[in-house]
């Protein structure tokens, strides 16, 4: 038997002083072996990150740690600071969630990558730059010698995350801990980062702990899975068994609540309620108040179940693990939006351009233009959901803000309800905005922290002078009912709400004026998968009940497939493909669309070894100096000379409803379903 790299037994972590201690981790046991990837999954507040910080001895002084943590023969709980410092430099590498806050903005990336090796005496300062370039080359960063001398702000998000991976692996650690390393990344960059992480891990034979809430990523990279809830591991098993037949109700509920990119037309089954607060856990099983099996069981209310074996290499902490049915109940059929072909378009955008000036010098002279949006045309019909997808920086959000008048358009036309709304004066534009409202990505930043939520939701009514006319306090209470919040919460402040509840408040505010169109800018990107399902179902219910039209901006292709009627794919300020939802997902014809879909993780371990990927090379070009011809050609696996010379027109593809801008548009290998095994081709 191979000894584990990490062995954790009876780990408990409390925060606070005597008499007011808050238990965050409540008795965790697990091992991680060389060449193994253990994924730890669960909702926010389940104790995942605290567990990883305890393993590395990085918890704050307010934390009290009990139990045993042995990492490469060192007892982390009793080791002195110098021993821990040496251990972190030699045996363990930590990849944090946000590379922007991980990297020091005033030090070069190369210096930060090698400073650990220099500090521990394994590398001389004279060789640091060459070593940094070598490490950057190993994580697929172009021009590593030049990039090593640059600063973090000169790197893209994906490049920063790869630099952090290089930093974590510089000392060739025996254990790599990656805490949500792909959460904020686009699917293409996420695929690149995971590929780099997997390759480097395989080369060094390291053990990996990957903390994530993305079950698609889990299915693609994990060997074993540990599911955490309320500070405990409630189920652990090999990845294939977790997905095929979960033996804890919480694991089943998580799997049922995720939208899938390879299926559609089913209503999500969200977990009711909210995750428990560590300082106010319910008696008995922590999941019991939200559990379909144990909600009314006296045993579950009285006794917290132990984590016990329920099969070979499988454990579950559930009183009824052996009695769970083999298959979950089928989800309800999704009710699609009514066909919008009978109606005149509600929103028509034609040739929209948003160019920002680049100013330099003391006199701030304009020396160029950033073409954030460069000729976008789209329409949204009443009761329809049109989604805009693409990588960060492609112009999705700028398009939405230009339609709302939050950013000034520099060209093209915007018609809403048959009337032009581009370049309206402030007062007229305010009236037009009564019919269309914006829901922002970050529910934390979009709500005023010093106002009660009642005042926040009432604010649009007061601005437009309609508070009394539309019912005043009664209207606000109705809006809370509409988005599934209790009227007893009206006097509270945003800080007293969870992320999902904050987003519901933002939706209630957007609905206050009874708009016809909502522009939803990544409305579920910051939410846990279970809370995300609640908000998605809410949006679909509201659309059906109120006849709303949605312009849905997102990079999560699974969510987009679940909610959309039509999808438009953007790249570098332009739409490169548009089709019906099923048409685009079943038969994408633009190489960029095919790349996006192939990079999206599928929550099914059975297909990960047979599904091939299109790997995009390079970074997104600078919109201030886009490539000539087709702007995608430097990264395209089908590009020829004509692509660099001539920009393709945006035309209908054959006799399909699809429109695309590509000289060489066509399906992959003649296959209709891009998610079938072997359907993907690898770019040379």
Q: Are residues 77 and 12 in the same domain?
A: yes
Q: What is the pLDDT of residue 172?
A: 86
Radius of gyration of the chain (CA): 26
Residue-range definition of the domain harbouring residue 654:
585-660
Instruction: Choose the final residue of a domain: 283, 302, 334.
Output: 334
Q: Does 681 reside within a domain? A: no
The confidence band for 296, taking pLDDT boundaries of 50, 70 and 90, is confident
Q: Does 608 reside within a domain? A: yes
pLDDT exceeds 60 at position 333 = no
Q: What is the pLDDT of residue 439?
A: 94
The confidence band for 329, taking pLDDT boundaries of 50, 70 and 90, is very low
Which of the given ranges, 105-119, 351-365, 517-531, 613-627, has the highest pLDDT on average?
105-119
Mean pLDDT of the chain: 88
Closest CA to 247 of 315, 185, 306, 166: 315
Q: Are residues 428 and 523 in the same domain?
A: yes
Q: What is the pLDDT of residue 184?
A: 66
Q: What is the pLDDT of residue 312?
A: 85
Helix axes 157-168, 128-138, angle to 10 degrees: 120
Q: Does 579 reside within a domain? A: no
pLDDT exceeds 60 at position 677 = no
The CATH number assigned to the domain holding 276 equals 3.40.50.300
Q: What is the pLDDT of residue 332?
A: 41
**6 token code pair:** 């990490």
Percent of the chain at pLDDT above 90? 59
- Strands of the 411-416 sheet, one edge to the other: 365-380, 347-360, 411-416, 419-420
Q: Are residues 218 and 271 in the same domain?
A: yes
Instruction: Choose the final residue of a domain: 538, 567, 596.
Output: 567
Q: What is the pLDDT of residue 18?
A: 63
- Across 367-386, average pLDDT: 93
- Across 318-334, average pLDDT: 62
Q: What is the pLDDT of residue 339?
A: 43
Q: Within the chain, what is the greatest distance between any pair of CA atoms?
A: 75
Residue 389 exposed, middle or buried by CB count within 10 Å (0-12, 13-18, 19+): buried
Residue 639 near residue 633 (C-beta atoms within 8 A): yes
Q: Are residues 403 and 477 in the same domain?
A: yes
Instruction: Choose the final residue of a domain: 283, 304, 334.
Output: 334
Chain centroid, CA 131 distance in Å? 33
Q: What is the DSSP string of 6-53?
A: EEEEEEEEEES-TTS-EEEEEEEEEEE-TT-EEEEE--TTSSHHHHHH
Q: Are residues 329 and 352 in the same domain?
A: no
Which stretches of 382-528 are assigned E, i.e. beta strand? 385-389, 411-416, 419-420, 436-439, 517-521
Distance CA 609, CA 606 (A): 7
Global pTM reads: 0.85
pLDDT exceeds 90 at position 676 = no
Q: Which residue has the higher pLDDT, 225 or 165?
A: 225
pLDDT in tens, 492-515: 999 888 888 899 999 999 999 999
- Across 370-379, average pLDDT: 94
Q: Are residues 537 and 646 in the same domain?
A: no
**221 token code pair:** 């990279």
Mean pLDDT check: name the lowest of 102-111, 266-275, 277-286, 398-407. Answer: 266-275
- Across 384-406, average pLDDT: 92
pLDDT in tens, 542-572: 999 999 999 999 988 999 999 999 999 999 9
Q: Are residues 520 and 593 in the same domain?
A: no
pLDDT exceeds 60 at position 673 = no
Q: Are residues 303 and 363 in the same domain?
A: no
Q: Are residues 515 and 596 in the same domain?
A: no
pLDDT exceeds 70 at position 298 = yes
Instruction: List Cα–Cα distances, 163 to 110, 197, 576, in angstroms.
Output: 9, 11, 31
Q: Which residue has the higher pLDDT, 246 or 156?
A: 246
Q: Are residues 491 and 608 in the same domain?
A: no
Q: Does 446 reside within a domain? A: yes
Closest CA to 561 of 436, 675, 403: 675
Q: How far apart are the first and last CA of the chain?
A: 41
pLDDT in tens, 635-654: 999 999 999 999 999 999 98
Q: Does 412 reside within a domain? A: yes
The confidence band for 338, taking pLDDT boundaries of 50, 70 and 90, is very low
Instruction: List Cα–Cα distances, 283 to 72, 287, 316, 413, 428, in angstroms.
Output: 37, 10, 19, 60, 57
How many folded domains does the chain comprise? 3
- Across 656-670, average pLDDT: 87
Distance CA 103, CA 631 (A): 31
- Across 94-99, average pLDDT: 84
pLDDT in tens, 266-277: 678 888 888 888
Q: Are residues 521 and 411 in the same domain?
A: yes
Q: Does 119 reside within a domain? A: no
Q: Are residues 538 and 480 in the same domain?
A: yes
SS3 552: strand
Mean pLDDT check: name the lowest of 185-194, 294-303, 497-506, 607-616. Answer: 607-616
Q: Does 577 reside within a domain? A: no
Residue 162 exposed, middle or buried by CB count within 10 Å (0-12, 13-18, 19+): buried
Q: Does 431 reside within a domain? A: yes
């Amino acid at each position: 038997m191979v000894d584990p790299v990490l062995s954790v037994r009876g780990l408990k972590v409390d925060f606070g002083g005597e008499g007011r201690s808050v238990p965050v981790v409540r008795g965790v046991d697990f091992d991680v072996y060389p060449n193994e990837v253990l994924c730890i999954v669960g909702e926010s507040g389940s104790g995942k990150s605290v567990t990883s910080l305890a393993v590395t001895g990085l918890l704050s002084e307010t934390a009290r740690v009990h139990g045993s943590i042995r990492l490469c023969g060192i007892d982390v709980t009793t080791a002195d600071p110098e021993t821990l410092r040496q251990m972190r430099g030699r045996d363990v590498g930590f990849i944090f969630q946000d590379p922007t806050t991980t990297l020091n903005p005033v030090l070069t990336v190369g210096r930060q990558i090698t400073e650990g090796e220099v500090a521990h005496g394994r590398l001389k300062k004279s060789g640091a730059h060459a070593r940094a370039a070598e490490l950057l080359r190993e994580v697929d960063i172009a021009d590593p010698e030049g990039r090593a001398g640059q600063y973090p702000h000169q790197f893209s998000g994906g490049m920063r995350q790869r630099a952090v991976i290089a930093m974590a692996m510089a000392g060739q650690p025996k254990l790599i801990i990656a805490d949500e390393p792909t959460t904020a990344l686009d699917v293409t960059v996420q695929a690149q980062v995971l590929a780099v992480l997997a390759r480097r891990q395989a080369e060094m034979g390291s053990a990996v702990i990957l903390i994530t809430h993305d079950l698609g990523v889990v299915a693609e990279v994990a060997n074993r899975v540990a599911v955490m809830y309320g500070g405990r591991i409630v189920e652990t098993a090999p990845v294939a068994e977790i997905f095929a037949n979960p033996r804890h109700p919480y694991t089943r509920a998580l799997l049922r609540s995720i939208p899938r990119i390879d299926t559609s037309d089913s209503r999500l089954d969200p977990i009711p309620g909210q995750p428990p607060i560590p300082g106010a856990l319910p008696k008995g099983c922590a999941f019991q108040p939200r559990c379909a099996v144990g909600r009314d069981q006296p045993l579950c209310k009285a006794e917290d179940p132990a984590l016990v074996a329920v099969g070979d290499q499988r454990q579950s902490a559930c009183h009824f693990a052996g009695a769970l049915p083999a298959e979950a109940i089928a989800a309800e059929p999704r009710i699609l939006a009514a066909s919008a072909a009978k109606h005149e378009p509600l929103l028509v955008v034609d040739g929209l351009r948003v160019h920002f000036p680049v100013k330099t010098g003391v006199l701030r002279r304009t020396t160029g233009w950033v073409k954030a949006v460069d000729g976008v045309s789209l329409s949204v019909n009443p009761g329809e959901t049109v989604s805009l997808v693409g990588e960060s920086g492609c112009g999705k959000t700028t398009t939405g803000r230009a339609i709302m008048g939050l950013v000034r358009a520099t060209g093209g036309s915007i018609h809403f309800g048959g009337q032009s709304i581009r370049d309206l004066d402030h007062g007229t534009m305010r009236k037009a905005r009564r019919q269309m409202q914006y829901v922002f990505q970050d529910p934390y930043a979009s709500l005023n922290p010093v106002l009660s939520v009642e005042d926040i939701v009432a604010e649009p009514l007061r601005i437009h002078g309609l508070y009394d006319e539309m019912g005043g306090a009664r209207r606000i209470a109705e809006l809370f009912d509409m988005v599934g919040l209790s009227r007893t919460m009206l006097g509270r402040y945003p800080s007293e709400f969870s992320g999902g509840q904050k987003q519901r408040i933002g939706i209630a505010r957007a609905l206050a004026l009874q708009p016809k169109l909502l522009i939803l800018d990544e409305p579920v990107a910051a939410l846990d998968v279970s809370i995300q399902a609640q908000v998605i179902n809410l949006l679909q219910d509201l659309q059906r009940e109120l006849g709303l039209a949605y312009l849905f901006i997102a990079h999560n292709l699974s969510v987009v497939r679940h909610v959309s009627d039509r999808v438009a794919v953007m790249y570098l300020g332009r739409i490169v493909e548009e089709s019906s939802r099923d048409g685009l997902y079943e038969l994408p014809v633009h190489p960029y669309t095919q790349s996006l879909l192939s990079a999206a993780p599928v929550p099914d371990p059975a297909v990960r070894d047979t599904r091939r990927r299109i790997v995009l090379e390079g970074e997104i070009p600078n919109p201030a100096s886009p490539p000539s011809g087709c702007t995608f050609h430097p990264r395209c696996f089908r590009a020829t000379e004509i692509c660099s010379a001539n920009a393709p027109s945006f035309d209908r593809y054959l006799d399909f409803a699809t429109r695309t801008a590509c000289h060489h548009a066509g399906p992959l290998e003649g296959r209709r379903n891009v998610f079938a095994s072997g359907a993907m081709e690898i770019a040379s």
